[in-house]
Structure 1
């Protein structure tokens, strides 16, 4: 197996996983003596779509704190004495959307990081509901692509991945729907959460040709 990677001058790239099928190694010269040989090879892409770079986005619960920190805010949120302003996060659950500029629908990989007592996520109203609460410092993760098994993993969150994941797929509601993101810009996602955790989505769009 190998990976064919095409780079653009601006830094963008797309990849295609390939498997060696055959090679035209009926050589006219002794390559050991010459030191090199030029011959053709045949490669097969078991998954025929080129992959774009992985795009990661995250969303949290809407933060309604005041920009100008008041005396009551200092009591409620425990601000330090030198804090005079509070800047809220820009991406909230209500504005959750991603773009798919690929040639076919693409399945996202979801991560929900606690604390949250209830969370569900999906596309166009079709959701996967996590059937248990997620304490602070823990997370769940599920890749909705059928090729990757659609397994619900749970475990401690180290900031980038789940450490020592446990398979809790059997607890999923059987009505959960694993829906792909259609082609198009700013496709709205469906995210509902109770708590102050974070939901992350990773997508890798697919293309029929490199460019």
Structure 2
């Protein structure tokens, strides 16, 4: 029997199979910096904050049962570290660009770190963490060069994806709730069961809805997973009622005016992670209802 020797494995040039993930920083002053090799500054290897967050697991135990019962978990603020290279062609360029970059950070007002582009982009709000101990080993005004490690913190540690939005249009009696052609626009009426109304949450964590009710609509009920909002506020034609159910915000406005008190006590529920959930939407009138959520992810990709 003849012996056949396999061809030696050839490692592809990584530059031919992949490009570095796009990253940018938008500071508190609105200025945006692209963070990649060859930019000012350039992101070096050793970035922290892109992968899994810290998860503090809460458990309980009993002397009658070996081991422990895992009850819940909590994700604290996320530590972020950027190893940055600053390189300029002149002292004046160094002074201008270095100042512009560091002036875009604040210790309590967040800027936005973006990773990826288009539909794949995810964002994380960051604030600066400064202890005042950085040392320049060589005067950068002489060399135009310095490596600086930047400590940052994400008070809200989950990466935010692109918004998921469903629009439901009011209709006169006789218009079917499910349209003839597939799409993301559905018709609503007070005598529909809305059993097929749903929204996707592709994220890793439950996400709360923002509802926008465009008049004219009355007798409005909105909800998800058994948590129903009874809206006693009529929304006339030309007006818009916005209800943000996120526990970090939880407000209602009618044409920009705060009507949270008028909405009264309500039970807000999140859309569970990783699937499709039914919505409850009932109203009378020919306006529209928009249900929107922002998926929350553990990682930047």
TM range (shorter): 0.7 to 0.9
Consecutive unaligned residues in structure 1, runs of 5 or more = 67-85, 156-164
Give per-residue Cα distances to partners, 1:70-95, cap 9 Å, x unaligned: xxxxxxxxxxxxxxxx9998523423
Residues 55 and 202 of structure 1 are in contact (CA less than 8 Å); yes or no, is this contact kept in structure 2? yes
Q: Does structure 1 residue 151 correspond to structure 2 residue 251?
A: yes
Map 1:41-60 → 2, pairs under 5 A? 41-60=150-169
- C-alpha displacement of 1:36: 3.0
Q: Does structure 1 residue 124 correspond to structure 2 residue 215?
A: no
SS in 2 for 1:112: strand
Counterpart selection for 1:186 from 257, 273, 276? 276
| Structure with bigger gyration radius | 2
SS in 1 for 2:282: strand
Counterpart for residue 198 of structure 1: 288
Alignment: residue pair count: 180
**Which whole-Å CA distance do the structure 1 matches of 2:276 and 2:171 have between them?**
19
- C-alpha displacement of 1:11: 4.7
**Which whole-Å CA distance do the structure 1 matches of 2:199 and 2:260 have between them?**
26
- C-alpha displacement of 1:56: 2.0
Counterpart selection for 2:140 from 31, 34, 43? 31
Normalised by the length of structure 1, the TM-score is 0.77
**Which whole-Å CA distance do the structure 2 matches of 1:27 and 1:197 have between them?**
61
**Which whole-Å CA distance do the structure 1 matches of 2:121 and 2:151 have between them?**
23
Residues 159 and 298 of structure 2 are in contact (CA less than 8 Å); yes or no, is this contact kept in structure 1? yes
Give per-residue Cα distances to partners, 1:32-77, cap 9 Å, x unaligned: 22223211011111000000012222112356359xxxxxxxxxxx
Counterpart for residue 12 of structure 1: 120
Consecutive unaligned residues in structure 2, runs of 5 or more = 1-109, 189-193
**Which whole-Å CA distance do the structure 1 matches of 2:127 and 2:236 have between them?**
43
Residues 65 and 88 of structure 1 are in contact (CA less than 8 Å); yes or no, is this contact kept in structure 2? no
SS in 2 for 1:210: coil
Normalised by the length of structure 2, the TM-score is 0.55
Residues 175 and 187 of structure 2 are in contact (CA less than 8 Å); yes or no, is this contact kept in structure 1? no
Q: Does structure 1 residue 169 correspond to structure 2 residue 260?
A: yes
**Which whole-Å CA distance do the structure 2 matches of 1:169 and 1:143 have between them?**
10
Cα root mean square deviation, aligned: 2.4
Residues 220 and 281 of structure 2 are in contact (CA less than 8 Å); yes or no, is this contact kept in structure 1? yes
Residue 11 to residue 88, structure 1, CA distance change in 2 (3 Å): closer
Residue 137 to residue 185, structure 1, CA distance change in 2 (3 Å): same
Residues 129 and 173 of structure 1 are in contact (CA less than 8 Å); yes or no, is this contact kept in structure 2? no
Counterpart for residue 82 of structure 1: none
Stretches (4+) displaced over 6 A: 86-89
Residue 185 to residue 92, structure 1, CA distance change in 2 (3 Å): farther
